[in-house]
Amino acid sequence: MQVFTSVAGLGHGTGPGHPEQVQRLAVVLEELAAEGIDVTDAAPATIDPLLARHPLAHLRQLREAADRGAILDPDTPAGPGSWNAVLGATGATHAALRHVMSSGGGAFVAIRPPGHHALAAQAMGFCLVNHAAVLASSARAEGRDRVLIVDWDVHHGNGTQAMVDNEASTRFVSMHQWPWYPGTGAADERGVGNCFNVPLGPGLPRAVYVDALWAAVVAATTGWTPDIVIVSAGYDAMQGDPLGGFTLEPADYATWTQRLTERFDVPIIALMEGGYVPRRLARGVIATVQAMA
């Protein structure tokens, strides 16, 4: 397996006091290096892959807003480095796709800003573009027709669900805190039968969360085998995260990763989403990377 990043993500400024800080990515890269894990800084992408999910007019508006510095929604600032961060993150996700397509293995993509709340024509929830949904389109263009997206961020991936809930060839599984931001992800939100939401309350034993997500993955894939697995790998479901109330530990992400690699003999790409205690985020990332390796 291989880890990819874009150092352009360090140029996305969110302002003092914002939870989605530069230190999130900086500390992850620092701790990966301390573990002796090689990280490839990928070249930025063009906007072409983004057009599969985001209208050109919206992308132009997003770039213009970032260049002048703007608040895109109440939680989502952008500044002069933000557009480069978007293209850098897109480049890293697609470098990961090229890697797994040639190797058949796995990849982890350490990027910011995150993506799973971004809608087709609206940035929201710290997210500017939707990396998981864009990557799913690119994987399908490479012949990986059946795409499984597993979202273990503590918040529901509303943007991803909105983009894929009419695609029978995509299965979307999300476990998330309920009720919580962004207010979506009820169990009866099934799309065309391809969405498997697991809304749970805070403060439950770790094993409850681990088993509940895995049960949903099994339900989503019984009689249906994916050609590729994309993980929206948020780490704000860990004990002590200021934006969530779940109780997970780094070992739980290793457990899920091991189970995914054992169940599916297909490429797996994990994309970094939330996690707002940088050192804890880094330990979750490392647990995932080591389990994938």
Could you give the CA distance from residue 203 to residue 239 in angstroms, rounded to a whole number?
A: 9
Residue with tokens 């997500």: 213
Q: What is the phi-psi region of residue 17: left when phi exceeds 0, alpha when psi lies from -120 to 50, beta otherwise?
A: left
Spot the catalytic one: 54, 116, 117, 176. 117
- How many Å separate Cα 259 from the centre of its chain? 18
Residues 68/6, Cβ–Cβ less than 8 Å: no
Beta bridge partners of 127: 124
As given in the structure block, the two tokens for residue 276 are 């707002």
Q: 3-state secondary structure string, 36-82?
A: CCCEEECCCCCCHHHHHCCCHHHHHHHHHHHHHCEEEECCEEECCCH
Among 230, 228, 240, 243, residue whose Cα is nearest residue 283: 240
∠ CA 28-32-34, rounded to 5°: 115
DSSP classification of residue 173: E
Q: How far is CA 230 from CA 20, 91, 134, 188, 227, in A?
A: 22, 16, 11, 23, 10
Q: Is 117 a catalytic site residue? A: yes
Could you give the CA distance from residue 262 to residue 229 in angstroms, rounded to a whole number?
A: 12
State the catalytic residues: 117
